[in-house]
Amino acid sequence: GRPGCECNACFAGRDCSLHTPNCTADADSGNPLFLEPYWRRHAAASAVVISGWHRMSYIATDIEKVFQSVELERQIRRLHRAVGNAVVDDKHVVFAAGSIQLINALVHALSPDANAASPPARVVATAPYYPIYRTQTKMFDGREYRWGGTTALWGNASRNPTDGFIEFVTSPNNPDAQLYKPVLGGSAAVTVDHAYYWPHFTHIPAPADEDVMVFTMSKPSGHAGSRFGWALIRDENVAKRANDYVQNSIMGASRDTQLRMLGIVKIMLANLHGKEDIFAFGHDVMRTRWRRLNAVVSRSRRISLQRMAPEYCTYFKRIREPSPAYAWVKCEMEEDDDCYEALLKSKIITRSGALFEASSRYTRLSLLKTDDDFEVLMERVTDLVNAENYDE
């Protein structure tokens, strides 16, 4: 059970332990509640109490005269060094309200100045891509930049000019968990979203070292509701423009959130490589889920999953089993050309491939939610596979 929590539609009772039979599995959102049991184990140590008089100021502290907590920035740099997932020494750090806010902050920062004579930047991504790159850019489409569609429309630098392009790359990718690289090349600016570049979800082959990188607390610690993300930016002017965007939009990330995140990052750091290592816990949960889902889906002719291989991880210093945040499901049967609808008929809510500008033969299953959510998902997937009936 999950005492004190709001139950989802499949569970009832004071601690959400009463299971409604034959209920619809909701595997739509990437809500990272798989980490809730970890923080229940560290409930007292991770608690933050903020009295009414505390942290009232716009600025982080009266001494620092800045919106960003210097101490939190220091701890985040330590976390990257300890995990080995990003080179931080030559980067500026810009905080924001979730990494979602950084998408447009960076589009603004990498675009030509609104007064410049140059045409608007084109913002592109390779399908299947995280849809908010499109929806957020389109919301602000205008003089500085416009949504330019998928990279397939533009080819690569050897054939086409890449000046004035901003390419979004997600690595590992949402939805299909692959470690992609930029495709345009040439002079295109690149923003690499590393929301899932943590040992829960992927092996870490080497520290990431792109010019503009985006991270979030939502996926490594699971505190999606605190709304905290940061960018690592090599160029000082780009960092300044991204920072200006955040200042103009929200006057800096919430001081309450920064204080809570400081406590959370310190606990993560203090437990690295010990028996309460959050990445060992997270990887264990996620690889077990992936293995169980694969075992059932491997009996199916109707649906299949992306292929993932065990890989060497520099954090664990060994070969680790795959543990993606999402399953990218393909419907194999001619008649299931809308995979989202096909799964919905089997009482599984997913996110359609069409949203990611991929074929509707694909749909995304979130594997990040609570154990209870995952159990319901396994029940419905097992029902679907068991209902397949072939004349051999």
Question: Which lies closer to ligand PMP via its Cβ, residue 19 or residue 140?
Answer: 140
Main-chain dihedrals φ then ψ at residue 86, nearest 5 degrees: -160, 145
d(CA 137, CA 122): 10
Question: Which lies closer to ligand PMP via its Cβ, residue 170 or residue 258?
Answer: 170
Question: Which lies closer to ligand PMP via its Cβ, residue 135 or residue 386?
Answer: 135
Give yes or no for a contact between 339 and 361, defined as CB atoms under 8 angstroms apart: yes
Question: Which lies closer to ligand PMP via its Cβ, residue 226 or residue 342?
Answer: 226
Question: Which lies closer to ligand PMP via its Cβ, residue 25 or residue 97?
Answer: 97
Question: Which lies closer to ligand PMP via its Cβ, residue 11 or residue 215?
Answer: 215
Question: Which lies closer to ligand PMP via its Cβ, residue 193 or residue 336?
Answer: 193
Two tokens at 351?
A: 């996110």
- Residue labelled with tokens 């792109």: 210
> Which residue, among 160, 173, 106, 99, has the nearest Cα to 137 in the 3D structure?
106
Query: How far from 223 is each of 25, 209, 246, 261, 265, CA to CA, in Å?
Result: 23, 25, 20, 9, 11
Which residues contact ligand PMP by CB under 6 A? 30, 98-100, 130, 170, 174, 193, 195, 216, 218, 224, 229
State the nearest-atom distance from the C-beta of 9 to ligand PMP, in Å: 21
Query: With the C-alpha atoms ordered 281, 284, 286, 288, is the resulting torsion angle positive or negative?
Result: negative
Question: Which lies closer to ligand PMP via its Cβ, residue 100 or residue 305?
Answer: 100
Orientation angle between helical segments 236-250 and 98-110, nearest 10 degrees:
130
Two tokens at 187?
A: 């002079």
State the nearest-atom distance from the C-beta of 173 to ligand PMP, in Å: 8
State the nearest-atom distance from the C-beta of 37 to ligand PMP, in Å: 20
Q: How far is CA 257 from the centre of its chain?
A: 19
144 CB neighbour count, 10 Å cutoff:
17
Which residues neighbour 229 within 8 Å (Cβ) at sequence distance 6 or greater? 95, 96, 97, 98, 99, 100, 101, 102, 214, 215, 216, 217, 218
